[in-house]
Amino acid sequence: MDKDKNYLQLKEFTALQGADLFGVADISGIKDSFLLSPKIMDKFDKAICMGVRLSESVLEEMDGGPTRLYSYHYRAVNLLLDQLALRVNNLIQSKGFSALPIPATQILDWQKQSAHLSHKRLGVLAGLGWIGRNNLLVNKELGSQLRLVSVLTDMPLKLDSPEQNDCKSCRACVTICPAGAIKDNSEDFDHIKCFEKLKGFQKQRLSEQYICGVCMQACRGKK
């Protein structure tokens, strides 16, 4: 089957379903890092990574921490992403190929920040952006004001390439981080400080989940 035709069909389909970003990554070299059954992973060699933009106004309403409105918006976007992944999964299966939708947010270990796989890492491989100082995917148009979901598949598809870009001199997230967890180098991001702050926000009942969103608010991309 035509890889380009399949790619275009899926991209158009996801856009109609609400996706703002779409890319396909080669996962053949990173499958060992996934917390999934090797028996299942043997079937897949690609990941479709999709992104949905967050509401600027919801983010702007925050003042140094998450709000009830942002907490609800976060859940709503994750639900949209999971439904999007399920629909893509069903479309691929209807064409006789295998697929596996991975939830937008399903942390297996909060302390270690581990999940079945890293959507942001797949986003990088799928050409959607780069890992910023805030340890999140940064898209050149949307900044970090987005959420991601992925579908693993064996469907013949054109592959995207990683984008050669970085945050350059922007330090907006470094100066605004309420935990002081963001450093000049993304490799130095302090996961423990970040998680401790998330627990503090939850204790204050600012959110029912371990979320913050302040660095997303600061990372705007091109407008």
In a domain, 81, yes or no: yes
Question: Which pTM does this prediction carry?
Answer: 0.93
- Per cent of the chain over pLDDT 90 is 78
Q: Is the pLDDT of residue 206 over 70?
A: no
CA-nearest of 108, 136, 123, 125 to 49 is 123
Beta pairing class for 130-131 and 114-115: unpaired
Q: Is the pLDDT of residue 223 over 80?
A: no
Q: Count up the domains in the chain and report the number.
A: 1
Report pLDDT digits (tens) over 103-158: 998 665 655 566 688 999 999 999 999 999 999 999 999 999 999 999 999 999 99
Comparison of pLDDT for 207 and 125, the residue scoring more = 125
In a domain, 223, yes or no: no
Beta pairing class for 21-26 and 99-102: unpaired
The confidence score (pLDDT) of residue 166 equals 95
Give mean pLDDT, residues 63-69: 93
- Per cent of the chain over pLDDT 70 is 93
66 lies in which domain range? Answer: 3-218
In a domain, 99, yes or no: yes
CA distance 160 to 157: 9
113 dihedral zone (left: phi>0; alpha: psi -120 to 50; beta)? left
Q: Please, which residues have CB within 8 angstroms of residue 90's CB and are 6 or more apart in sequence?
A: none
Structure tokens at 142: 């949307």
In a domain, 94, yes or no: yes
The confidence score (pLDDT) of residue 38 equals 84
CA distance 91 to 97: 9
Residue in this structure with the two tokens 């302090």, named with its chain if needed: 190
CA-nearest of 97, 86, 83, 104 to 153 is 97
